[in-house]
Amino acid sequence: MISGLVRKLLCILLFLYSMPLMAIDFAEKNHSELYKKLFPVADQFTEFTGEPLSMSVYKGEQHIGYIFRTRDIVSIPAYSGKPVDMLVGMDMQGLFTGAYVIEHHEPIMLVGLPEESLDVFAAQYKEKSVSDRIQVGSGKREGYENIDGITGATVTVMVMNQTLSRAARKLAESKKIISPASKQKTITEVKMNLYRPRSWTELTGEGSIRRLKLEVSDVDNAFKGTEGEAVKYIYCDEQDTEVNCNEFIDLYYAYLNQPSIGKNLLGEDQYNWLMSEIKPGDHAIALMANGMYSFRGNGFVRGGIFDRIQLHQEGKIITFRDKDYFRLSDVYAEAMPDFDEMAIFIVRQANELVPANVFQLELMVRRQTGPLKSVFTSFYADYELPVDYYTVTENKALDEDLPLWALLWEQRSVEVTILIIALIMLTTVLLFQDIVVKHPLFLKRFHIGFLIFTIVFIGYYGLAQLSVVNVLTFAQSLMHEFNWQTFLMDPMIFVLWVFVAMSLLLWGRGPFCGWLCPFGAMQELINIVSRNLKIKQWEFPAAVHERLWALKYIILLALFGVSLQSLAQAERLAEIEPFKTSITLHFAREWSYVFYAVALLLISIVNRKFYCKYLCPLGAAIAIPGKFHLFDWLLRRTECGQPCQVCANECEIRAIEKNGRINLNECHYCMDCQVTYFDNRKCPPLVKKRKRKEKTDKAVEDYKVTVESTGGVTAV
């Protein structure tokens, strides 16, 4: 019955697959309204063509500008780990005619901030030049244009600024609107073999360590003339004589790679450890501070960006993510002061920092002027490595930049390696399952341990929870223009999908749903604890259970149909998956989403993996190709189901039918049935065989005893 339903659904899916042009027309119609907003006087828009990809705009015969999508030119991960895609207009003089956000995945916009605030931010670029150096905030800086940020979304708008500026410059250079950046570069090499003993005083005196000191009055003066002027902060209790209430921050910073600086500051052991942690081409910067203001900030969370500090060099803005941060526990330079806050930040090779050239440290300060509004100002301090510590060679042509996906793989190489090792271990267990299941205690412990790994590492650390949105995106790319780079942008998710594709051919849906889905693992562990506590389980009657199976396929079909019209709308409807709430956003969301996710987890107390069995569209999506698996690894006997029902009764997913057949569309590959299959104290055919053997062995033993007791003579 279920297989017949699946065949019908597949026919409908193939029919919908044949209508991709309708989806394209719908998307183009939506964007065409934005084209007119970007160029109101235009009467002709071409297709997106060329490299970089862009659309030419005409008024009659006159070429008046270009329209481009930022994702087609650059892709910089924002707070969510995914880029913000903007539709941008630029005229033939290199002036922006406007910008609109057309796709984003920022979780902060789901927690109270209106979507329109991103467009309000992007609108500030109108009539600014692609040649302008633009910064977010109100800080005065020579040669820079200022735009306002968004309270609560500082990281997002910082990345948007970088994305839009870099994409526009790249397009303008390719169209010869502005002169391209020089392909020649002065090559400098830090003298890594030079070491001189230096005290704190000598390091600061020669400029190896620089200082940015701000009094409260300096900050107050910087906000004069802005809405932040009226906001007064009380930083400390002036009656506390041990605290200088006028000291906003006293910040020291230094370049650590050069041994005369790094070894004297960190000590030889800590310096050697740091150099072993970073990769060739990376640069380490130390920050040490006292005062009432933290350069790290209290709102920073794992996976995000430090939004109070960044570096600038030759028009490049260098931000720091969590993986670029090391705690600095101690420093050893002679006569150095004590610090309340210390850290090491790593500038990755992709940012192409030239330590011998001047770069600037930016410290951003925010004042909240309303519930959803803030103003920003920034303070800057230069740094230049002393000339004794580097050499300059002749100009050389720059190598072509590595593609962004390659840089991301390089940055996440450790996580990818750990994931691949874990997948190899899982594959080994699955391939040699006939041996493993004969050791049920090991299998049980391995399964529970792997589920914990899946939740902690794959889910909360790697943010690699697969989603039906990935399936819809893949389907859309097959219909339109497939690009591997799109899927290579998230290394851990790519590796997981490669494994899922392989495992579908070998085992079907089970290895992912039973071992690699973080939300599924959470449900599984909850149910294991529940059963150990002897909490009574509640199941649907068989007829209802079999019909509820179909729900997830219906949900998948609906989402797929909507995605043909609008992938963005399908992504919103895909919130039927509680993954974003429970894994990506760590339950920090509106109460209705949290209630839904928690309710599904609580149901797992009395019904094993309720969501996975009945509602999960991702499970349905991978179950369909899983029907074409090549092998049947799960062993059955002729007695299974006729009359034996032990495995069917014990299967908490209820994937074993009354006739003994295992439904691999629903099986989560826990292998409990295989443990029973080889257990001669649970599997009835084996129990019968064991008892027969024990009876025979006993008869033989009795015979031997009789022979021995009669001296070798037995009665006939």
Please name every residue paired with 133 in a beta bridge, in sequence order, or none if there are none: 144
Question: In this predicted structure, what is the pLDDT of residue 455?
Answer: 94
Specify the pairing of strand 325-327 against strand 341-347.
antiparallel
Q: Over range 267-278, report the average pLDDT.
A: 86
CB 293: neighbour CB atoms within 10 A? 21
Q: Are residues 522 and 605 in the same domain?
A: yes
Judge if 648 and 715 occupy the same domain.
Answer: no
The winner for highest mean pLDDT among 66-70, 226-230, 350-354, 693-697 is 66-70
pTM above 0.95, yes or no: no
Q: Are residues 137 and 267 in the same domain?
A: no
Q: Is 401's pLDDT higher than 60?
A: no
Same domain, 557 and 469: yes
In which band, very low, low, confident or very high, does the pLDDT at 14 lie, cut at 50, 70 and 90?
very low
Nearest by Cα to 310 from 297, 329, 301: 297
**Residue 66 carries which side chain, given as an amino acid letter?**
Y
Same domain membership, residue 202 and residue 158: no
Q: How much is the average pLDDT of 92-113?
A: 75
Beta strands in 561-601 (DSSP E): none
pLDDT at 278: 87
The pLDDT, as a whole number, for residue 711 is 65
Examine the domain organization and report whether 628 and 596 are in the same domain.
Answer: yes
Dihedral over alpha carbons 345, 350, 355, 357 (to 10 degrees): -130
Q: How is residue 60 written in tokens?
A: 């009659």
Residue ending a domain, among 328, 363, 395, is 395
| Chain centre distance of CA 676 | 39
Residue 496 lies in a domain: yes
State which of 154, 174, 194 marks the end of a domain: 174
16 in any annotated domain: no
Q: Label residues 632-668 b or e (16+ Cβ within 10 Å = b).
A: ebbebeeebbeebebbbeebbbbbbbeebebbbbbbb
- Whether the per-residue pLDDT at 82 is higher than 70: the answer is no
Residue 11 placed within a domain: no
The crossing angle, in degrees rounded to 10, of helices 404-411 and 413-431 is 70
Q: What is the pLDDT of residue 97?
A: 93
My answer on whether 477 and 507 are in the same domain is yes
- Residue 25 located in a structural domain: no
What would the pLDDT profile of 384-394 be if each residue is shown by its tens digit? Answer: 788 788 876 54
As for how many domains the chain has, the answer is: 4
> 557 and 437, same structural domain?
yes
pLDDT given at position 333: 80
pLDDT tens, position by position, 605-659: 999 999 999 999 999 999 888 888 888 888 888 888 888 888 888 888 888 888 8
Average pLDDT over residues 522-539: 92
State pLDDT tens for residues 469-495: 888 878 876 776 565 655 676 788 889
Percent of the chain clearing pLDDT 70 (strictly above): 82
The DSSP element (H or E) to which 251 belongs, if any, is strand 247-255
pLDDT digits (tens, 9 = 90+) for 34-55: 898 999 999 999 988 888 899 9
Q: Give the H or E element holding residue 681.
A: none
**Is 31 within a domain?**
no
Within a domain: 200:
yes
The DSSP element (H or E) to which 601 belongs, if any, is helix 591-603
Determine the Cα–Cα distance for residues 136 and 377; give it in Å rounded to an integer. 9
Q: What is the mean pLDDT of the chain?
A: 81
User: Which one is predicted more confidently, 698 or 611?
Assistant: 611
Which of 221-235, 563-577, 642-656 has the highest average model confidence (pLDDT)? Answer: 642-656
pLDDT at 395 over 50: no
Task: Look at 157 and 153; give whichever has higher pLDDT.
Answer: 157
User: What does each C-alpha distance from 550 to 123, 427, 480, 543 come to in angstroms?
Assistant: 46, 30, 29, 12
Same domain for 591 and 556: yes
Q: Comparing 133-137, 252-256, 524-528, which segment has the lowest mean pLDDT? A: 133-137
Residues with Cβ < 8 Å from 203, sequence gap 6 or more?
209, 254, 261, 264, 265, 333
Q: Do 512 and 574 share a structural domain?
A: yes
Query: What are 405-426's pLDDT values in tens digits?
Result: 665 687 678 889 999 999 999 9
The region of weakest confidence among 3-12, 63-72, 477-486 is 3-12
Measured between alpha carbons, how far is 309 from 293 in angstroms, rounded to an integer? 12
pLDDT, residue 716, reads 42
Q: Tell me whether residue 5 is in a domain.
A: no
Q: Considering 375, 395, 415, which residue would you say is the last residue of a domain?
A: 395
Q: Is residue 209 part of a domain?
A: yes
Residue 287 in this model has a pLDDT that exceeds 80? yes
Residues 338 and 466 grouped into a single domain: no
Domain of residue 150: give its range: 39-174
Query: What are the b/e assignments for 104-121, b being 16+ CB within 10 Å?
Result: bbbbbbbeebeeebbeeb
Q: Residue 210: which pLDDT band, with cuts at 50, 70 and 90?
A: confident
Q: Confirm if 196 and 206 have CB atoms less than 8 A apart.
A: no
> 574 pLDDT band (50/70/90 cuts)?
confident
713 and 596 belong to one structural domain = no
Q: Is the dihedral of CA 107, 78, 148, 288 positive or negative?
A: positive
Give the per-residue pLDDT at 143: 64
Residue 508 CA: distances (Å) to CA of 427, 536, 551, 625, 626: 13, 31, 20, 8, 4
